[in-house]
Amino acid sequence: MDGCIFCKIAKGEIPSSKVYEDDFVLAFLDLNPASLGHALVIPKKHAATLLDLEPGSGEALLQAMRKIGKALRKVVKADGFNCLQNNFSAAGQEVMHLHWHVIPRHEGDQVIKTWAPGKYENMEQMAALAGQLKAEI
């Protein structure tokens, strides 16, 4: 897609620090890492959000994240890693090209803070919402 920075990176028009590439996926280090080794994993074919990803494309992305996570645990001695993905600006998506952040984590770090758990008013509210979602799906 014209003007998409991640499409330009995938085409080699903009340099990146690639860590993995195959026919469908590109992974490169984030310029503003949350922690050392923070990588971005993108489909080479443009998809703005997860809703735009072609069916059947997810396996290649998941396998790339597995490989990168395994490498991060060894190379930067990460105790774990997060795979984060945002859809639409309201959810924090800044680049409108589907991408996952693979962020190395170390015990006790403060890289990502968890959300405060909420509660349903009651089990009936939860069941009603589940029913609405099931019907929509």
Q: Which residues contact 31 (CB under 8 A, 6 or more apart)?
A: none
Catalytic status, residue 106: no
Cα–Cα dist 41/61, whole Å: 7
Instruction: Kindly state the tokens that stand for 102.
Output: 């693979």
Cα–Cα dist 114/17, whole Å: 29
The closest alpha carbon to 75, from 127, 22, 36, belongs to 36
Catalytic residue among 38, 97, 99, 101: 99
CB 8, CB 14: distance < 8 Å: yes
Residues annotated as part of the active site: 99
